[in-house]
Amino acid sequence: MPDRGGGPTGPRIRVGRPSRRVRTLLMTLGVLAVLAMAFTMFAGFWTDWLWYRSVKYSSVFTTTLWTKVGLFFVFGLLMAAAVGVNIWLAHRLRPPLSAMSMEQQSLDRYRMGIAPYKRWLLLGITALVGLIAGASAAGQWRVWLMWVNGVPFHQKDPQFHLDVAFYAFDLPWYRFLLGFGFAAAVLSLIAAALTHYLYGGLRVTSPGARATAAATGHLSVLLGIFVALKAIAYWLDRYGLAVKSSDFKATGNWTGLRYVDANAYLPAKTILFCIAVICALLFFATLWRRTWQLPVIGFGLMVLSAILIGGLYPAIVQKFQVQPNEQAKEAPYVEKNLKATREAYGIGGADVTEYAGKSETDDKTKLRDDADDTASIRLLDPNVVSPTFQQRQQMKNYYAFPTTLDVDRYTTKDGKDQDTVIGLRELNLAGIPKNNWINDHFRYTHGYGVVAAKGTTADADGLPVFTESDLPSKGDLGQYQQRIYYGEKTTQYSIVGGPQKEIDYSDDNGEKTTSYKAKSGVNLSNPVNRAAYAVAFSEPQILYSGAIGEGSRILYNRTPKDRVEAVAPWLTIDGDAYPAVVDGKIQWIVDAYTTTNGYPYASRTTLGDTTADSLTAANNQRAVVAQQNQVNYIRNSVKATVDAYTGEVKLYQWDTKDPVLKTWMKAFPNTVKKKTEISQSLMDHLRYPQDLFKVQRELLTRYHVKDAQTFLSGSEVWQVPDDPTNQTGNAVPPYYLSMKVADQKSQAFSLTTTFTPNGRDNLSAFMSVNAEAGTDDYGKIRILKLPTSRTVDGPKQVQSQFNSEQDIAESIRLLKGGDSEVEYGNLLTVPLDGGLLYVEPVYVRGGGLKYPLLRKVLVTYGGNTAFEDTLDAALNKVFGADGSSTEPPDEGTTKPPTSSDPTVQEALDDAQKAFEAGQEALKKPDWEAYAKAQKDLEDALERAEEAQSQSSQGSDGNDKSSDKSTDKSSDKSTDKSSDKSSGDSADKSADESTDKSSAGG
């Protein structure tokens, strides 16, 4: 070979072959590397199999695995065969050698270079495209399972009159097949063309014909297949119009056919289908005609038709037919969209009732009584009081509560339902005295106990009234398994049940130890299992640690949402799993949804955006776990439970009519239990899920109207208001509380929210849903629509009113004195006798306290506002109930309530003097004098109560008793703060505000 380097060459250096020892070493290292890679892959597979077997859902693993494997091999082999056969055929049809042109001489070098490796090159190319295609197909396992197991919806779309199942289950699979066919045709065409060019079947610069007859026929067939597939695509596009998303300026996001789709795009797709079929036949005809003329003309006609018929014509229809009279043209299609959207999201039965927004009742006593009867107003905000639970009930640093607690309801000893704020004392690894591998994974393995408090009240110091507390926990919940191995904060693996004892809990007698007794987790006695987990978790100590022995089990995937999502990967998981004590066990309850984005005419929504609010912004742990983020059909079809001790997962069929769930139950038989297997004790704690409610309320901002003209005009568009209690700018979260609305005869556990007009802050509507599972109208959505003829204050305006009222603002300023912080709780809205009652708890973190205490309650109704120590006092003041001794006097007013009993009057006079002395002490300030005045005030009120109880004036006695409890509450708080730190200005300010608003008889 000639020297092509173009320069001088130096002496040749002879490179010898490596020695046998080096070659042996290199081969050994290569084999070990391959074995290591193989074992790493095996470890991932094996640990997954062991985990699914441990939770008794191995059928989910095997069904998913074999579906993926089957799709991988079937479509991988099909793609490899399609490309390989066409390369082989192009090589087989190569022309005989002839006079070599310059082009062919250049190609000849490449032909000679690959000649010895043709077979290997063919295998390599086909293997590569097969692997890529197979991997892509394996990712479509959900689409395949839904297609092969699909059940009918028994509902037909209004355009083509096909069952909804065609769009939800069949059309996605057909589109995948079509996409695969296009990919195979294009890759085969490229591979065949390159092979023909390499072997002379196609010529670019050589004289004579550009293509041999064989190459012409071969490539024409491939082009004909491509065009035939395009014809099928045009035909499927006709049905795709029913689920097509588009922007519609009148409504925003739109799904389904509009006027231009039905009258321009639909006929255009049909015409283009016919043209594509004719064009494909022309390409196939070249097998006999051996000319490109007609196919090229046909293809050009198809492209031109696609531009004119598929693009220009619909634009003309939109411009000259639709825009001049848009509402009339679009109204029939809007009606279809309205009906389909309301059905797809389960809001078709939403009951919209006109609501005055202003009470016409003059009877203040009746209004006051109705306030108690209408709602059990929850003052304990689960989004605020977690630090209080933490400080009062944490007990040890290695325990912690979630940032946001949960609201449930429990039956009290007297048989009444009580709204309850509940949290679990979960394991907090950050609080372990010393972090090391043994402590993190063997000794500190679980949390301990439930902490629960009444949702409707606080004690005299502003602390929660705990109904279950201490360590071990005790209270109203009875006996139950208190150890928490599975929880929202439990994200690391633990190895339990072996020779290493675990820290159970600590009491006055020191630390208690335990050893896990359940059969959860994977047994590590097997050395293969240990090796697999050592590799999978990158923890080599698992392989040789002496802390692992007979009976050791590894627990992982320990958060409730992760476990449910793993055993049912076809479900979308609600962002808020919540605990409940059920039949002596702590059960995590997880709501799960079936979804699809193929419901015809139903507008789509993005779950991640729709379910976001001020809580998810602050706590990403509450975000929805979505299989597909954009959907246009959703059902709360499954209620799941996760045992906090054993980790056992149970799935219960909740929506027995949902065809999507029925489809998945066919695909994964025996994984979902029947609804009838839900025990009554579990049913008592099931509730309407928050994320579904948030999706529905977002849709109802537009889809509460049923009239197409109103919908198109946009005059009735609402919005979900921002949370007025913080500055995040995110939507206000929905709130759970027991209440009755509209036609309800008694209080029911409900989920509520408010709406405001688009771009304004006044109130448009109030929405609630019966969240109490097992009741007749569970899931019933009620909307109270406010009049548009006058303004009713919305949440932001009410909050602004609270902040701007002079007396309240002054009290808030005093509460913020020193280094105290004021936190606003949930602003609850309660419809009451035609008007709207707003209630907001106010918390204070005073001085050195690191947790909020409930100090005040804000209440407003009908323009009357109160800022009092207790809810009763605030309601009494707002409604002006007769004889309300809890109502504080106006600024400068010192006249106490009158009484005909001279003994009572004397005691009240003494109370007034004590109150005035306290006020003077505050002005100096003289805290010792203030404390003495408060003690005198309490004594005077006690004497007044005793004298009153001896008289016949029962109502006056009640009022004084209420007054006494209010002032005693205030005084206790004051004395406690004074005892803790006489120099704590924050607590002094809080006490000053408290007594200003509550004292005075």
Gyration radius from the chain CA atoms: 37
Torsion angle (degrees, nearest 10) of CA 267, 268, 274, 277:
-140
Bond from prior residue into 734 cis (ω within 30 degrees of 0): no
Is there a contact between 619 and 403 (Cβ–Cβ < 8 Å)?
Answer: yes
Question: Cis peptide before 689, with omega less than 30 degrees from 0?
Answer: no
Of 651, 630, 633, nearest to 642 (Cα)? 651
Cβ of 684: how many Cβ atoms within 10 Å?
A: 18
> DSSP 3-state assignment of 50?
helix
* Dist CA 768 CA 772 (whole Å): 12
> CA torsion sign, 32 to 36 to 42 to 47?
positive
What is the signed CA dihedral for 987, 993, 998, 1001, rounded to 10 degrees?
100
Q: What are 133-155's pLDDT values in tens digits?
A: 999 999 999 999 999 999 999 99
Distance CA 751, CA 691 (A): 11
Task: Please state, as a whole number, how many other Cβ atoms lie within 10 Å of the Cβ of residue 950.
Answer: 12
Contact partners, residue 936, CB within 8 Å, separation at least 6? 910, 913, 914, 917
Which is it for strands 252-255 and 245-248: parallel, antiparallel or unpaired?
Answer: antiparallel
- pLDDT at position 956 is 40
| 73-111 per-position pLDDT tens digit | 999 999 999 999 999 999 888 887 655 666 666 777 777
Q: What is the pLDDT of residue 1001?
A: 29
Say what the pLDDT of residue 783 is. Answer: 94
- Adjacent-strand bridge partners of 246: 254
Query: 87 in helix, strand or coil?
Result: helix
- The pTM of the full predicted model, rounded to 2 decimals, is 0.82
- What pLDDT is recorded for position 268? 93
Long-range contacts of range 468-474, CB-CB < 8 Å, 24 or more positions apart?
A: 468/422, 469/392, 469/393, 470/393, 470/395, 471/393, 471/395, 471/396, 471/425, 471/505, 471/506, 471/507, 472/448, 472/505, 472/507, 473/425, 473/448, 473/449
pLDDT of residue 506: 82
Listed as ranges, residues in the chain with pLDDT below 70 are 1-18, 97-105, 205-209, 249-252, 617-620, 818, 847-848, 882-905, 918-928, 930-931, 944-945, 947-1001
**CA distances to 401, 836, 866 from 880, in Å:** 41, 16, 10
Cα(695)–Cα(611) distance, rounded to whole angstroms?
6
CA distance 586 to 115: 71
3-state helix, strand, coil in the chain (%, to 5): 50, 20, 35
Scan for tokens 């010898």, then name that residue. 16
Task: Quote the CA–CA distance of 634 and 574 in Å, as a whole number.
Answer: 12
Cα of first residue to Cα of last residue in the chain, in angstroms, is: 115
pLDDT (0 to 100) of residue 985: 37
Partner residues linked to 638 by β-bridges: 592, 653
